[in-house]
């Protein structure tokens, strides 16, 4: 039902990519980064898979596609091994930046642990309204990027993406975060901001609704029927995006 290569792209760009939003929105993450005296860039390069560089500063972090000039480089021999690294089942070994291993063990690990705490929360933690909202917003950003990765890498997702007309889809939560899903030549890209001229719009009515949907407690088609998910514009774009959204749950379960 799922494949390791697609999962590696999701883990790289959707999961690790959400560190950008964590560092922007979460006070604990900001506190962790505040001790950095100068920028540190960390690159992961997966054989036959994704490659990206994350640069951390005391003000936040930014991911760029590909291996840029970096302080720490971690080559990974396969997509399967990279997925195990993200799941905490194996330890990454850098080939560059051994003198900065303290950053990996302390700062980077503290940030990924905080991300996990928010992305896989306990029921008790979710009783705090602020935690609930932050957890849902971060999950939204992860899912919005995962949509594009599945549309580009997963066999079933690619089939759905091939029917999405060129243009932007506004994907968001009412009074909350909005992302652009941009389709061009059967390839999808997620941009973490609202589109200027969307050809289609898919908006969840509330943070609570989005959380229920992301956690499989409600069905998107049922919500569309009730009007709690607003869809406008070129409906075929939303319909095929929704098919990919169904695949997201399989990968991020």
Cα separation, 173 vs 206, whole angstroms: 6
Q: How many CB atoms lie within 10 A of CB 143?
A: 23
pLDDT at site 220: 80
Lowest-confidence segment of 147-151, 173-177, 184-188, 222-226 by average pLDDT: 222-226
Task: Provide the pLDDT for residue 119.
Answer: 94
Residue 149's pLDDT is what? 98
The domain defined by 129-252 folds into Nonspecific Lipid-transfer Protein; Chain A (3.30.1050)
Closest C-alpha among 143, 140, 205, 200 to residue 169: 200
Q: Contact at 8 Å (CB) between 214 and 229?
A: no
Q: Quote the pTM value.
A: 0.95
Question: How far apart are the C-alpha atoms of 167 and 197, rounded to whole Å?
Answer: 9
Taking residues 116-123, report their average pLDDT.
94
* pLDDT average, residue stretch 131-135: 97
Length of the chain: 253
pLDDT of 99: 86
Does pLDDT of 1 surpass 80? no
Query: Which tokens is 218 given?
Result: 């409600």
Nearest to 164 by CA among 184, 140, 137, 135: 184
pLDDT attached to residue 95 = 93
Q: What's the mean pLDDT in 141-149? A: 97
Q: How far apart are CA 127 and CA 233, in angstroms?
A: 36
- Residue 52 clears pLDDT 80, i.e. is over it: yes
Residue ranges of the chain assigned to CATH 3.30.1050.10: 4-119, 129-252
pLDDT digits (tens, 9 = 90+) for 67-102: 978 999 999 999 999 999 999 999 888 999 888 889
Residue 191, beta-bridge partner list: 180
Quick one: average pLDDT of 13-35?
A: 97
Q: What is the pLDDT of residue 151?
A: 97
Kindly report the average pLDDT of the chain as a whole number.
95
* Mean pLDDT of the 209-227 span: 86
* pLDDT tens digits for range 183-203: 999 999 999 999 999 999 999
% of residues, the chain, pLDDT over 70 = 100
CA distance 218 to 211: 9
Which of the four pLDDT bands, split at 50, 70 and 90, describes residue 222? confident
Average of per-residue pLDDT across 109-132: 95
Please state at what angle helix 129-153 crosses helix 109-119, rounded to 10 degrees.
100
pLDDT for residue 170 is more than 80: yes
CATH number of 4-119: 3.30.1050.10
């Amino acid at each position: 039902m799922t494949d390791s290569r697609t999962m590696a792209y999701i883990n790289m760009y959707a999961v690790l990519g959400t560190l950008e939003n964590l560092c922007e929105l979460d006070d604990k993450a900001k506190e962790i980064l505040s001790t950095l005296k100068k920028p540190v860039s960390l690159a992961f390069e997966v054989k036959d898979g994704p490659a990206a560089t994350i640069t951390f500063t005391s003000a936040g972090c930014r991911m760029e596609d590909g291996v840029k000039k970096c302080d720490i480089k971690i080559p990974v021999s396969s997509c399967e091994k990279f997925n195990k690294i993200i799941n905490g089942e194996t330890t990454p070994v850098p080939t560059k930046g051994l003198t900065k291993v303290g950053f990996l063990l302390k700062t980077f690990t503290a940030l990924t642990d905080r991300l996990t705490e928010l992305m896989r929360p306990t029921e008790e933690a979710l009783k705090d309204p602020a935690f609930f909202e932050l957890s849902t917003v971060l999950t939204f950003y992860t899912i919005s990027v995962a949509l594009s990765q599945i549309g580009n890498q997963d066999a079933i997702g690619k089939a759905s993406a091939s029917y999405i007309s060129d243009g932007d889809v506004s994907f968001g939560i009412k009074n909350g975060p909005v992302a652009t899903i941009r389709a061009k030549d059967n390839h999808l890209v997620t941009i973490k901001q609202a589109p200027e001229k969307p050809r289609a719009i898919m908006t969840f009515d509330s943070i609570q609704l989005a959380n229920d949907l992301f956690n499989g407690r409600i069905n998107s088609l049922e919500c569309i029927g009730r009007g709690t998910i607003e869809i406008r514009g070129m409906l075929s774009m939303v319909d095929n995006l929704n098919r990919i959204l169904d695949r997201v749950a399989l990968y991020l379960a």
